[in-house]
Homo-oligomer: A and B are copies of this chain.
Amino acid sequence: MTIEVAAIGGFHVGGREVRLEGLPVRHARFAVGGPEKVVDPNGAFEAEQMYVQYVRLASPTAPWPLLLWHGGGQTGVTWEDTPDGRPGWQMRFLEAGWDVYVSDAVERGRAGWARFPEIFPTEPVFREKRQAWELFRVGPPGSWADEPEARRPFPGTRFPWRAYDRFFKQTVPRWAGHEAITQRAYDALVGAVGPCAIMAHSQGGAFAMQAALAAPETVRAVIAIEPSGVPDPGAVDPARVRDVPHLVVWGDFIAGDAAWTDNRARVARYWEALARAGGRAEVLDLPAEGIHGNSHFPMMDDNSDAVAALVERWLRGLAG
């Protein structure tokens, strides 16, 4: 199907000016056929901003825009095509009538990143293929092989694992310890957009939950797809988001994975705190619904359209 679009654009939000001085000058050549230039690394820079791209429909039928927040080591590309070339959730939610805002968090993708250690105190971390294969539950420990055809994913996996190397080209570097600056930019984004629903993946999940705690009158719903963390229920006031429905979506192969089992238990404790405070905290456990084989990236799995439809139905139910 086609969509009638009123506007496509992007902008940066949040961040601050940073000034550097006392660094030595360098020389470099920047264009084919161009001259060598002096590079003075001192002066004024922007840092800690984030990027968002919006697609606004001519006639959205959803009550609010939908913000799509990616996970760690990723960018907004998470929500575009699947690694095997099928349409992603950005397109599917547009088709379903939602204005969609896809962002790149601070330091990721089009958000840009800042010099280290002068501005960002630590060095970045680069995710590695084998480790990600296991962390993302494409295959169990020991199932990785350097040769693509020798890799052994979980039987019944829905992840397009034959396109794994192509998927991996989406990976970007990240920094540890940037939660506060990233949260500040996300909160600025919510403030800039106004009333909205947030769907967040993995590392983005906790940022979305915190954004709801910071602006419960603006964030109308939180959907956490396989969140890798949650706010500490003892350190926040879950009653603040009593009127913000939360949904968590879990894929398959968690039971045999100690780290994901622990993590799911941590999320469950926060969900219980939300419920005790009078909130609506729901769980879409795909295997429990008879939907098997999903990885940590259900928006890329071969049943991505079906999972999107389930999430969209939940969201529509809130608005109705």
Interface residues of A (CB under 8 A from B): 2-12, 15, 17, 26, 28-35, 39-46, 49, 51, 53, 55, 58, 72, 75-77, 80-81, 85, 87-88, 90-91, 94, 104, 109-110, 112-115, 122, 125-126, 128-131, 146, 165-166, 168-174, 176-177, 179, 183, 202-203, 206-207, 210, 228-232, 259, 262-263, 266
6 extra interchain contacts, Cβ-Cβ under 8 A, other than A15-B169, A39-B125?
Answer: A9-B87, A28-B122, A45-B126, A45-B168, A46-B171, A115-B126
Nearest Cβ in chain B — how far from A87, in angstroms?
6
Nearest Cβ in chain B — how far from A99, in angstroms?
13
Select the residue from A15, A51, A259 with max chain B CB neighbours within 10 A: A51
Select the residue from A43, A87, A113, A206 with max chain B CB neighbours within 10 A: A43
Q: B11 near A85 (CB under 8 angstroms)?
A: yes
Instruction: Select A109's contact among B45, B88, B110, B126, beta carbons within 8 Å.
Output: B110
Q: A165 near B34 (CB under 8 angstroms)?
A: no
Residues in B with CB closer than 8 Å to A112 are 109, 169-173
For the complex, what is the distance from the CA of A15 to the CA of B167, rounded to whole Å?
Answer: 12
Q: B45 near A177 (CB under 8 angstroms)?
A: no
Nearest Cβ in chain B — how far from A187, in angstroms?
14
Q: A6 near B2 (CB under 8 angstroms)?
A: yes
Instruction: Select A43's contact among B3, B128, B206, beta carbons within 8 Å.
Output: B128
Q: B128 near A9 (CB under 8 angstroms)?
A: no
Residues in B with CB closer than 8 Å to A91 are 7-9
For the complex, what is the distance from the CA of A174 to the CA of B12, rounded to whole Å?
Answer: 19
For the complex, what is the distance from the CA of A112 to the CA of B94, rounded to whole Å?
Answer: 26
Q: A129 near B172 (CB under 8 angstroms)?
A: no
Nearest Cβ in chain B — how far from A42, in angstroms?
7
Instruction: Select A34's contact among B30, B53, B263, beta carbons within 8 Å.
Output: B263
Residues in B with CB closer than 8 Å to A41 are 125-126, 128
Q: B170 near A12 (CB under 8 angstroms)?
A: yes
Q: A34 near B229 (CB under 8 angstroms)?
A: yes
